[in-house]
Amino acid sequence: MPRSPARRFVALSSLGALALAASLSAATAQPLTVVELFTSQGCSSCPPANANLIKVKDQPGVLALSFNVTYWDYLGWKDIFGRPEFTQRQVRYEPPLGHDGPFTPQVVVNGHADVVGAAPGEIQRLIAASGTINGPSLSLERGKASIGAGAAPGGKADVWLVRYAKGIVEVPVARGENTGRTLPHANVVHALEKLGSWNGAATVLDVPPATGGLSTAVLVQSPGGGPILAAAAN
């Protein structure tokens, strides 16, 4: 049965010391463009977007992340990477982006612009149109996330800790809309949690060590699915 391009689902140190630490550790940090793909192994429209994310994952200055959602699990295949918190992250994006509910595939760049992402070159065009993040300095090293001083929209931002598997993993799908297919995924996110907050003052947060060979990214983001203000990854 023909499918539309996207599948929609309706439903304590001193401040001076902190500033110095943030300044020194941020000196070599490279600004990143954050590309988030919301995808599902149970969605027949998603494989082209998965493939397009793979094409940009090694692009300099790009942090590409695959967030697998859960709302298509009922179609016969439970996504092995799907987590409710990933679905909730996508749901928070939809009102600011002008959508009435989440859909797959969806690519969100820097938290403020989105595209389906399945057509050739679609993700790359959105990256080019989004420009660079203009927020506080941010570095991630030696178990610390160092955020420089700056303007926090509304006086506060969330700091998110992301654990992801760098590289490509292929998943054979035995049931559902993608029965018999082996689907590649790039930089799959395995865990997402709030690390702390940033109010515009220079801040240093402890980052627990990663386990299981996972890589780490930290995102400073306006609350409620707002724009990403800064990002760093190891």
* pLDDT tens profile 100-152: 999 999 999 999 999 999 999 999 999 999 887 889 999 999 999 999 999 99
Share of the chain above pLDDT 70, in %: 88
d(CA 89, CA 160): 11
- Name which residue leads in pLDDT, 130 or 173: 173
**Overall residue count recorded for the chain in this entry:** 234
Closest by CA position to 216, among listed 156, 110, 145:
145
**What kind of fold does domain 7-11+14-233 have according to CATH?**
Glutaredoxin (3.40.30)
Per-residue DSSP letter, 75: G
Q: What pLDDT does 10 receive? A: 58
Whether residue 12 has pLDDT greater than 70? no
Which amino acid, residue 222? S
The answer to which of 10-14, 17-21, 128-132, 181-185 has the lowest mean pLDDT is 17-21
- The answer to whether 160 and 192 have CB atoms below 8 angstroms apart is yes
Average pLDDT, the chain: 90
Computed on alpha carbons and rounded to an integer, the radius of gyration of the chain in Å comes to 18
Interval 47-97: pLDDT, tens: 999 999 999 999 999 999 999 999 999 999 999 999 999 999 999 999 999
d(CA 78, CA 28): 41
- Name which residue leads in pLDDT, 202 or 153: 202
C-alpha distances in angstroms, 228 versus 89, 131, 134, 191, 192? Answer: 13, 12, 9, 18, 15
Q: What pLDDT does 5 receive? A: 63
- The answer to whether 221 and 195 have CB atoms below 8 angstroms apart is no
For residue 59 the two structure tokens come to 């692009």
Closest by CA position to 34, among listed 12, 55, 56:
56
> Across-strand partners of 37?
66, 107
Map out the domains of the chain as residue ranges. 7-11+14-233
Q: What pLDDT does 11 receive? A: 53
